[in-house]
Chain A
């Protein structure tokens, strides 16, 4: 994985949401923390081109997120804060297949991929279930399956344990720990990112600290105090 921000800035109308940022991300597990409104989600959305930089550029594995948006989005999966909005079709297996249909794969290949991804997350029994019947943890796993079925190399998760009870939170944490993909996790759940390779701290639209989890979390506590 090679993600590069070159003086990348994000503005919404006149307001600067992310100040010009230059950095390179290569680690396998990266945590992103910060107070609400600090620019974390904008930063993450810039990586897969959902937010275009108003100045500078962002590139993923050498591809500019604006010029090669489709290619970048194929490489970078994104799990949103509310997985309910990510599940487009009501029945889980149909929803997972939806991401593959646009690739015009044969029906058998789609079916095999869907069954494979359901088995990978141990949710084969949910294949015929409707999204609104799933628990919070199941919904997160369903969202993961729907994104990873297209085999992106990088996965961004925006607050994946948000609003989950302890049991579901632990289930999601175990699943994240077992992922082979490069992951970038935005979270207020500090124990989730405690063993990550690198943590970025955002504050008031700027990268305030960047390093190992221990020191960055301590810095975050100072800011939040």
Chain B
């Protein structure tokens, strides 16, 4: 996977970024407002439907979603352990629905459009002197742009373990991944400064 964006001509692709992002914000709000498992289950099914409309196939979908789904399962397992099965179910359904809707929006929205929309949305905060809107847009764009790079780096480190006949362990995977990612982040930050991409004062 080289980018979270997926080429296509589905309904979600054709929809402009603003309604998609506003819709996602509204859905997120509702998902955290309502606790009924039936409602959350329907939301998760609808989220799955939105994601399935991208027609990526099972394998590609799993590759893209496996990290977030595994994380959700860990959070749900902790909730089960610390609270109740009912609450664990709510957490599982709520986060799954949210992840599927967000993944569908991310996969159908070009990063440039994403940055423009987020920047526009942050303008009121800029007017009252809280933030620089372009920086907010750029930060979110960078996260979307470089998440697949981190996953690729993780796979490369895992391959390096196998090539040397070593069994990948959580520590031997995490430490080089964190170091490489931080070093990479430094270089990207330097490139942003060098190219004068951040908004001028």
Contact = CB atoms under 8 A, between A and B. Distances in A.
B187 interface: yes
Contacts, number: 79
A80 B3 contact: no
Given A78-B194, A130-B3, A102 B200 contact: yes
Contacts of A74: 196
B118 to A, nearest CB: 13
Interface residues of A, number: 29
Contact of A80 (B2, B112, B141, B191): B191
A140 interface: no
B200 A50 contact: no
Interface residues of B, number: 26
Contact of B193 (A73, A82, A130): A73
A98 interface: yes
5 residue pairs, one from A and one from B, having the closest CB atoms: A78-B194, A94-B112, A132-B2, A86-B191, A85-B187
Interface of B: 2-3, 5, 110-112, 115, 134, 141-142, 145, 184, 187-188, 190-201
Given A78-B194, A132-B3, 10 more contacts: A74-B196, A78-B195, A80-B191, A82-B187, A85-B184, A88-B192, A89-B111, A89-B115, A90-B2, A99-B197
13 contacts: A73-B194, A78-B191, A80-B190, A88-B141, A88-B145, A91-B112, A94-B111, A98-B112, A102-B134, A102-B198, A146-B195, A150-B195, A150-B196
